[in-house]
Chain A
Amino acid sequence: MSIIDFLRASLLQGAVSYSAPLLTAAMGELLLERCGMLDVSLEGKMALGASIGFLVYYFTGQVLLGLAASMIIGAIIGIAFGYIAVYLKGNQIITGMGFLILSTGLASLIYRLTIGIRNVAPEVKTLDNIKLPLLGKIPYLGQVFFTQPALAYFAYLLVPIMIFVLYKTPLGLHIRACGESPRALDTLGVNVFKIRLWVSAVSGGLIALGGAYLPMVLTATYEDGMIAGRGWLVLQLVIFGRYLPTAVLLGSLFFGYLESLKFSLILLVPQLPPQLFLMLPYLCAMIVLVFSQKTYRPESLLKPYYREKKN
């Protein structure tokens, strides 16, 4: 076991691929939290996106339809959550937990009711790696970064798009203002509630898309519990990335690397029980979290906006 084993091109290529679902969902949650809401039902939304996306892809054979379906279902759950959080001023953590269990249960239930009982789990054809024409030919980096499925490229494109929207457009300014001081925004006549609701929808769609990545690219089937805590990891990623898209990108790369690494480690060190290495990403997430407590967070996070209250 040498340093080479940690830097193999295929390992890093896997890392980039594994990080894409985290990144997509993290961009969605980043948007949401920047707008002042926190959705703990991430894990459930990803599961639902995975389940619906897989089912639609399986029955229609069209990748885009599957992805669109998962985004739509994510947006629907997002709107429902957003409505309760924004207009009914419900407690977001408690409501989020309810949606978590609902989405997780629905993901599994809809899958089972649609597929029924079969001996062999239905499979879909996973997305192929697309080797970019010029960049893909670079010796080491070409394989790592530029030979990835299309959905991974989309995930990485989301980062500059998010940076542009959040920091260079008026809409982005409004979104960030919703998270810091919605009252100030309201005095300008901008409809805070509508912005929060729309952001909830878009973010839900992105999160579900992140979930759909898993069956469509990585495993080719859907299983209960396949999200395996990634949703919770994304929640921590956004905090640990200090609500900045670039830092979140690096964070998801790191955790994608850990996920890719654990399989190699299991093979390289057969003396130790495999469960030890499977625990590795969660352990690292905890350690990282310990060191990222005193970070910035949006002022109005989790606070519903009451127009009538004077504060």
Chain B
Amino acid sequence: MISINKIKLSIKNWINTKFLQKNRLISGLNGFGIYLAAVIVALIINSSFIAWAGGNIISSYETMIQVSLGSAAGLGQTLNKCTPLLLAGIAVAVGNRGRVSNIGSDGQIYMGAIFATGTGLLLVPLNMPIYVLSPLVLLASIIGGAFWCGIPGVLKARFGTSELFTTIMLLFMANFITDYFASGPWRAPEVPDSISRPIATSGFLPKFFGGAHVGIIIAIVVAIAIYFLIEKSVLGYKIRTMGDNPDAAKLAGINIPLYQFGLLALSGAIAGLAGGIEIAGLDHRLMTGLSPSYGLMAVLVASLGKNKPIGVIISAFLFAILMVGSDSLQRSINLPSSAVMVFQAVVYLSILLARTIREQ
């Protein structure tokens, strides 16, 4: 006899076999569905802000894509914005692999910029030809960033202080130090704001098409290098163990405090490099608004990219498109610049939600 219960049971069975199996293809498609839903939700929420600012939603998105990817100049700008995001993202991601949270990487970006500017200004009287001494400037920025993140590293290794807070406190302090140098000893006399004099041209980075500077190449090289370091080397294996299973790492004899310090210093060095590239490649002067919270965005970028270099590259590029696109909307429909943070956070949170739901 066919009863209602039997019908219900057979329908349930059908749904189970078709959609809820642990079949990779099916669960992959399910996953795709959730991520698609997340992206759609993000688009809807972001569009509502565009609409609030008084813009036409469709044409605004068109403008965003057009400006960021449609022209050589636009693509150059996108790549330029992608560079610090990518480097800072790698810095945060490499820390995350070792369970070390470098949230205040902005501070290291600024300190790297300070060291780079200092070196660059020192080189001015030498009058060397253009681009020749830029490796020196970048090296200075690496040292600066490593130093600034080395302090939390020492505090963590010696006292166990949480680097989450110390890097943030150092971030605020770096802001003030930047302000001091840019408005004090290194101040450009012709400008009323806290902007420094330009560094020597021999410290500049060359540009190629569309105004993009070679920083993006450096960033990608660093990303690849970190990939090989983390995934393919013994040191990387130790770092990953420290991150995945600290107890096992300790039992295996890894000197955890030393490695944590080293990892933080490495993370800071990469972030410092981002700051140096901003100075050498883009602004050529130290100023207080150098980093529009690249460091905080980098935390999102790293997390979105699952702390793997390839994911970080993709996320950084995506966020850079959002940044350049929002800039253009600021010009066309007066969308405030803070919208970019909202857009990024909405995209990030919706994808994070999708991931969290999938793991349920």
Partner of A101, one of B164, B165, B348, B357: B348
| Chain B CB within 8 A of A273 CB | yes
In the bound complex, residues from chain A placing their C-beta under 8 Å from that of B176 are: 275-276, 278-279
Q: Are B338 and A289 in contact (CB under 8 A)?
A: no
- The digit string for B317-360, where 1 denotes a CB below 8 A from any CB of A, is 00000000000000000101011111011101100110011001
Tell me if A159 is interfacial: C-beta within 8 Å of chain B: no
Looking at the assembled complex, report how far the CB atom of A7 sits from the nearest CB atom of chain B, in whole angstroms.
26
- A229 and B169 contact, CB distance less than 8 A: yes
B352–A112 CB distance below 8 A: no
A residues 259-276 near B (Cβ < 8 Å) are: 273, 275-276
Q: Mark A100-131, 1 if CB is under 8 A from B, else 0.
A: 11101111110011000100000000000000
Closest Cβ–Cβ distance, residue B257 to chain A (whole Å): 13
Q: Please tell me if the beta carbons of B339 and A105 are within 8 angstroms of each other in the complex.
A: yes
Measured CA separation A117–B158 after assembly (Å): 50
- Those of A42-90 within 8 Å (CB) of chain B: 84, 88-90
In chain B between 259 and 317, which residues have their CB closer than 8 angstroms to a CB of chain A? 293, 296-297, 299-300, 303
Q: Which residue of A lies closest to B343 (CB)?
A: A105
The answer to the question of B159 belonging to the interface, with a C-beta cut-off of 8 Å to chain A, is: yes
Q: Does A282 contact B (CB under 8 A)?
A: yes
CB pair A235–B356 under 8 Å, yes or no, is no
Q: Which of A91-99, A139-147, A246-254 contacts B (4 or more CB under 8 A)?
A: A91-99
Q: Which residues of A contact B103 (CB under 8 A)?
A: 40, 97
CB distance from B91 to the nearest CB of A (A): 15
Which interface class (under 10, 10 to 19, 20 to 34, 35 or more) fits B?
35 or more
- Chain A residues contacting B297 (CB-CB under 8 Å) are 101
Can you name the residue of chain B whose Cβ is closest to the Cβ of A117?
B334
A60-B46 Cα distance, complex, nearest whole Å? 28
Bound-complex Cα distance A98 to B351 (A): 11
User: Which of B80-88, B177-185, B214-222, B226-234 lies on the face that meets chain A?
Assistant: B177-185
Contacting pair A289 B180 (CB below 8 A): no
Q: Is A161 an interface position by the 8 A CB rule? A: no
Expressed in whole angstroms, the Cα–Cα distance for A97 and B300 within the complex equals: 7
Contact of A113 among B52, B348, B352, B353 (CB under 8 A): B52
CA distance A112 to B335 in the complex (A): 9
**Does B173 interact with chain A (Cβ within 8 Å)?**
yes
Which residue of chain A has its CB nearest to the CB of B349? A98
- Residue among A107, A229, A276, A286 with most chain B CB within 10 A: A286
> In the complex the two chains form, is B338's CB within 8 Å of A90's CB?
no
A-B contact count (CB 8 A): 126
Separation in Å of the A292 CB from the closest CB of chain B? 9
The complex places the Cα of A165 from the Cα of B340 at a distance, in Å, of: 41
B352 and A283 contact, CB distance less than 8 A? no
Interface centre among A94, A104, A236, A293 (most CB of B within 10 A): A94
The closest CB in chain A to the CB of B103 belongs to A97
The reply to whether the CB of B49 lies closer than 8 angstroms to some CB of chain A is: yes
Cβ contact of A289, chosen from B52, B166, B344, cutoff 8 A: B166
Binding site secondary structure of chain A: helix
Against B, the Cβ 8 Å flags (1 = close, 0 = not) of A205-234 are 000000000000000000010001100100
Query: Complex: how many Å from CA A129 to CA B52?
Result: 38
What's the minimum C-beta distance from A49 to chain B, rounded to whole angstroms?
A: 16
B341 close to A101 (CB less than 8 A): yes
B192-232 CB mask vs A (1 if < 8 Å, else 0) is 00000000000000000000000000000000000000000
Is the CB of B56 closer than 8 A to any CB of chain A? no
Chain B nearest CB: distance from A117 CB in Å?
Answer: 7
Chain B CB within 8 A of A1 CB:
no
**Interface flags, B134-165, vs A, CB<8A=1, else 0:** 00000000000000000000010001111011
Given A84-B353, A289-B165: A98 and B177 interface contact (C-beta under 8 Å): no
Interface residues of B in 231-269 (CB under 8 A from A): none
Given contacts A88-B357, A88-B360, A286-B169, contact A97 B334 (CB under 8 A): no
In angstroms, Cα B303 to Cα A94, docked, is 7
| One of A84, A98, A108 near B300 (C-beta < 8 A) | A98
> For residue B101, which residues in chain A have a CB less than 8 angstroms away from its CB?
93
Q: Judging by beta carbons under 8 Å apart, are B296 and A89 in contact? A: no
CA distance A232 to B103 in the complex (A): 11
B345 pairs with A102, CB closer than 8 A: yes
Q: Which residues of B contact A278 (CB under 8 A)?
A: 176
- A235: chain B residues at CB < 8 Å are 165
The answer to whether A279 and B345 touch across the interface, beta carbons within 8 angstroms, is: no
| Cβ-defined contact, A102 with B346, below 8 A | yes
Q: For A114, give the chain B residue with the smallest CB separation.
A: B52
Q: Which residue of A lies closest to B178 (CB)?
A: A275
The contact string, 1 if C-beta is below 8 Å from chain A, for chain B 89-126, is 00000000000010100000000000000000000000
Give the docked Cα–Cα distance between A109 and B49 (Å).
9
Do the beta carbons of B344 and A101 come within 8 Å of each other? yes
Q: Is B9 close to A, CB under 8 A?
A: no
Bound state CA distance, A109 and B53, in angstroms? 10
Does B168 reach chain A (CB closer than 8 Å)? yes
Additional A-B contact list (6), CB under 8 Å, known A286-B170, A291-B159: A97-B296, A101-B293, A102-B342, A112-B336, A273-B180, A283-B169
6 of the cross-chain contacts (CB-CB < 8 Å) are A93-B101, A95-B356, A102-B345, A109-B49, A228-B172, A286-B169
- B: residues with CB less than 8 A from A are 49, 52-53, 101, 103, 155, 159-162, 164-166, 168-170, 172-173, 176-177, 179-180, 184, 293, 296-297, 299-300, 303, 334, 336, 338-342, 344-346, 348-349, 352-353, 356-357, 360
